[in-house]
Amino acid sequence: MPDPAPFRASWETFASLVPGLNWLTLARLRAKRATWVINLCGLGIIIGSMHALTVWTNSLRKHPPAPIQLGSFALSGNALQWIVTGFGLYVMLNWLQVLRLRDKPCFAIIAQTPSLILLFTIAALQSIVNYSIMGWSPAFLIKTYHLTATQVGAVFGPLAAGIGVVGPMIAGPLSDWLNARFRSGRMYITLGALTLSPFIGWFVYHANTPGEFYAAFTIYSLSLTMWLPPLYAAFMDLALPRMRGSVVSFYILTMTIFGLGLGPYTVGLISDLNGGNLGAAILSIYWVGPFIVALVLALIWVLPKDEATVISRAQAAGEPI
């Protein structure tokens, strides 16, 4: 049934995520003591971890950059990075806890489906790679080949946009064709794209000329975009129709926190530490590559079972089907 008050529901969801307001939501929903303990202990662990990461990353540079002035407060760039990351992680915790109290079937699908957990993790890790590459490649071109920003923008921008359209257009129908013939067939597109991309990337960031870079980058970009349509399709297959918006919202949140939040920052930090070798810094982000491939292989194994039991697991959690 349609929600009779969708705007109020949106506000209640927002309030349940915001630190401070989330406690009012937990109190109103009469959360049990265990929920409060998990929330507060989780907050403490996040704060402690972010503080430790700030101290560690501040110590890596011999000559740290000037702090950022926020009113009367002076924060290092690292401190600001980890404060925002910690905020995002706490929002994720709040969302899952309130979802469990308000919508147990949706919580069971999102947080207790092995395939979805693998999908969220794969997407988050690969987003670290994608955002790092797309964020730093223009700077790499300018620095390595002494191009102007105008020259890079005139070629790199349209090329990245074009491949961003072509890659999914190829991967979508091809993954559907494979899925009709093999168990977890779609995921073989993701597996192939993510297995090949590190090797293609090596040629991209060792190219001798801009022409060689763009030629290799065209193939590289296909591998960086073709992994997405199979994952999107799997998200839809693993959730009931009414839950798909929540599943995709959680995916976007995790992708933003880890991919956009950590990817470019990590490459920039590594580049500073290795003497400004931006190409090596971009490629170093592929330390997550073997983990991603292992996770995709695990996903291929468990996905058919989870797809076949979506309705029964939702019913077991209280969904009135």
DSSP-assigned letters across all residues of 117-185: HHHHHHHHHHHHHHHHHHHHHHHHHHHHH---HHHHHHHHHHHHHHHHHHHHHHHHHHHHHHHTTSTTH
How far apart CA 187 and CA 233 sit, in angstroms, is 10
Distances, alpha carbon 161 to alpha carbons 108, 157, 190, 255, in Å: 37, 6, 20, 20
Domains identified in the chain and CATH numbers: 1-102 (no CATH), 107-310 (1.20.1250.20)
pLDDT the model gives residue 9: 72
Type of residue found at 78: N
Q: Is the CB of residue 208 less than 8 Å from the CB of residue 279? A: no
246 φ, ψ (degrees, to nearest 5): -65, -40
pTM: 0.90
According to the model, what pLDDT value does residue 5 have? 67
Amino acid identity of residue 13, one-letter, is T
d(CA 307, CA 239): 9
The pLDDT, as a whole number, for residue 183 is: 87
For residue 39, the model assigns a pLDDT of: 96
Residue type, 134: M
Other C-beta atoms within 10 Å of 233: how many? 17
Q: Determine the pLDDT at residue 276.
A: 85
Calpha distance 109→120 (Å, rounded): 13
Q: What is the pLDDT of residue 62?
A: 79
280-301 per-residue burial string, b: 16 or more CB within 10 A, e: under 16: ebbbebbebbeebbebbeebbe
The whole-number pLDDT of residue 53 equals: 96
Residues of the chain with pLDDT under 70: 1-6
Q: How far is it, in rounded angstroms, from Cα 78 to Cα 67?
A: 9
| Residue labelled with tokens 């730093």 | 136
Residue from 226, 257, 223, 265 nearest 132 by CA:
265
